[in-house]
Structure formats: structure tokens, C-alpha cells
Structure 1
Amino acid sequence: MLDYIPNDQTIVTYVFPYMWLISSVLVVFLEIVLNIKATYGRYNTSGSGISARLAWFIQELPSFFVPCFLLYYHQSSLSMTKFAIIGLFLIHYFQRVFIYPMLIRGGKNSSYSTTISAFCFCCINAYAIAQEILAYHVYPKDYLFSLQFISGAIIFFIGLIFNLQADSILRNLRKDDKQRDYKIPRGGLFEYVSGANFLAESIEWTGYAICAWTLPAFAFAVFTWANIGLGRAIHHHQFYLDKFKDTYPKNRKAIIPFIL
């Protein structure tokens, strides 16, 4: 089955990661310089497309099942270290695929183009990260006890906890699916930045990149910072400033506390 998937080491290790790094520069240019917003959530002004719950489920699905398939495919050479590193990836995406969509309240539709492009990205990204770890990267036998893995895992889980907290805060701003208005989020990292959920997820994947120590994982972390850590967070910050004007907290930044 993998004969139909690009599994050459050069493609996985270098081509896909450099695609994300180049895309990161392009995303920053489009979202910050040209102020183009991805058409999902509050920026889908037409209202057409796929429901938020279904869109999140569809587009994130490959990020869970592709690594699961690769774990099965490489089971004969699987080490505890590689299983643990892939396991961190799956922890995040189990929540994103099977829990998060079901908890969404009042989410707006996602455009078809955004959902399809996100699905394709998740297919390639999950494959590159998992295949590099399982097939090509070599870890020392005691890597799970190294300072690098432990510190990366701590950063990952700190980001995950703040991400879940931020999602809960945003979700509880609305009572049910019928409520569509926006309120000022408060608590947690929202006391410091408008894009608390984006900051938390960017921290997550930074920690994961440290744990995995591969170019695909690093490139994904960079792309996350560029796409949602900068572009999406800055757009949200401006949205709140425009909507709430003088009532919005003056000391709150977009993505980096006290700085940006």
C-alpha cells in the first residue's frame, strides 16, 4: 500500500519540511502583509461551506489515522522511544478529532477550500512527521531519559494544558449552538494575549519539535507559529479591538505577552 505514497527518505526528511518552511514565509506575507484571512470561523462572511464540527473532524482526521497506520506498518522495528514520541502526537490529535469537534458551540461554517486544503496538509504533515520518526531517525537507547526529551515533553504538556483551558474558556462564552455573538474572553493566557489558544498550540508543537528532534517536526512547529501564532492571532486581536474598542483590555497583546 505504501508503494503509492512518496516514502523516499529525501522527500520525507527534506522536501516536505522545506515546503512547510517556505509556506510559513508565504503565510506570513499573505496573512500579515496582505491581511488575507483564512475563511473559517468568524472570517467566513458568506456563511457557506461545511459545519464547524464536521469540518474540524474531516480536516484533522488524517493526523490521527496516518500515524496509527504507520505504527502498525513499522511494528516489527518499533522501539519504546519512537512509540512514546508518536504517542504525544496522537494525544493531541485524539482530542482534536474525537473530542474537540463535539464540544464546539455556535461555530460558523468552514469554506470547502479551507477544509480541503487543511485535510491535504494534515495528510502530508502527519505522514512526514511519523515516517521520519519511525523509518529513518535513530535515537539513543536512553533517549527517553535525556534532558532533551523530558524538557520537550514538559513544554508539550504545558502547551496542551493551556490549549485545553483556552478552548474551554472560549466555548463557555456561549451557552448553546444558537448563540452567535462574541464576548471578551477572560482567564488563563487570555489575560495576556488575544490568541491564547494559538499561543498554547504553538508552545505544544515547539515542545514536540524538541522531543522528536527531526526536521519535519521542526518545520511543523515553525508553520504553526506562522499560521496561527502570528497571522490568526493578530487578526483576532484586531477583531477584538475593532469590536469592543475602549472596553477591550489595554494591556492585552496579540500573541506574545507584553511584546506583540
Structure 2
Amino acid sequence: MTDITVPATRSGGPKPTDGHRTPIPFHRLLSVETRKLFDTRSSKIMVVIMILLAVASIIARGVVDGPRLHVLIGTAGVGFGTLLPVIGILTVTGEWSHRTALTTFALEPRRGRVLAAKCLPPLITAVAASLFAMVVAVPVTAVVAGVQDVPATWEVAPLALLGWTAVGVLVVAQGLAVGMLLLNAPAAIVICLSAPMLWSVVSRLGATGEVLAGWFDLGATTDPLMAGDMTGGDAVRLAVSVTFWIVVPMAAGVLRVIRREVN
């Protein structure tokens, strides 16, 4: 019989026992999911397009409308509002479309922690995108003012700036919620991108349609938040639309992912 030498466990480290593993730290899950967010070819392409689109739109708006900082910052929201939700959708649907969910949930069976690690990077990216737009808009405003030889408008309402950033986060959260509910990237992308147009049609269908759009259209209810002059009634309408588009789909999606069989 051959002797088998079992290596001794280092003192001070975790000692695994039969049937138990050392839990994966959340910061490691977060790091992995952040890399997944930017490692795929589609994500890299979208990030590059988003950066180029933001810079180009800010410069073009500055040339056309003049050096007004608050206008130039808001211009970047056109590209961000379209592409950032798509990144969020791909984040939560990628495991199922690429059939890697079994591997992911085998390494970390606590699916709630995995979902939390997936949702945080896109939301943080939305905040970073807002900061990037501000950083780009400031020198563009100065250069346009110098080239056109006109005074620049630097006044930006802090509440409007915070509101604009918050709207970017909400739009990404909507993409995450719809994507998690459907677990199908094309369907979720179509819904998120077509929703503003559909609500625009609904708002023109008489008084009832206008009321429905005023309460459930996330694009309409976030306008006062971006303007920085939200009232109590505006906050209630925003809460209703956020519940409809984010809270309910997110809760249902989390429940679906936790209970879904993976094969």
C-alpha cells in the first residue's frame, strides 16, 4: 500500500470542512461582474460609441447653441439615456444567453449576492458617465466661448445637476429591472427603447391617455427632477412610475432568477 501524505493546513487560514466552502467575498464578486461588464466585445463597442457620441454631441451643441454649460451637459444625456440601459440589460441577461448561469451559480449558490454584484457596476457607470459629461462640457464651453468671442454661461443649478445624474441612474435601473424580469436581451431592449415613443402616443389619446402618461411615463415624471424644481405632486408621480417600471419588475425578476432551474 502506498503512503499518501496530506499537506498540513496553514495556521490562521480558513479550514474547510467536508461539505463546506469558504464563502466568496462580495468585493470579489463585484470585481468579477465589473470585468464582465466591460470585457465582452459588445460592451466595449457600446462604451466607445457612448464616449464618442457624448463628446461629439457636446461639441456640436456648443457650436450651434453657444457656450452654455448646463445645456452642453444635458446634451450628453441623449446618448447615455439610450445606451446605458442596454449595458444594464446585457449585464443581467448575459448569463442566460451565453448559458454560463450554471457555472456562476455553482461557484456562488447564493443568487441574491450575484444579482447585487451584477446591478451595482451599471449603476455606478451611470454616475461615472454623468461626471464624464461634466468634465467634457467645461473645456468645450471655454473653447467655444473663446472661438466665438462671446461670454460663456457657467451657471448650473446644483439640484438640476443632481437630478440629471439621478435620472441616469433610474434609466439604468429600469433596464436592469426589465432585463431581469424577461431574461431576454432583445425583448428587454425593445421595450426600454420603445417605451418613450409608446407613451408619447398614449398621451395624445385624449384626457385619459394624458393622465396615464403623466403618472406612468418615466420620461415624463423625471422631467421635474432634471429641472431641479420638483414639487410634492411631482414626487408622487415619480414614485408611481418608478414603482411601475423598476420596483415591481425588479422584485419579480429577482424572484424569478432565484427560483429558476438552471440546466
TM-score w.r.t. the length of structure 1 is 0.28
More helix by share: 2
Q: Say which structure, 1 or 2, has more relative contact order (CA 8 Å, 6+ apart).
A: 1
If you compute each CA radius of gyration, which structure gives the higher value, 1 or 2? Answer: 2
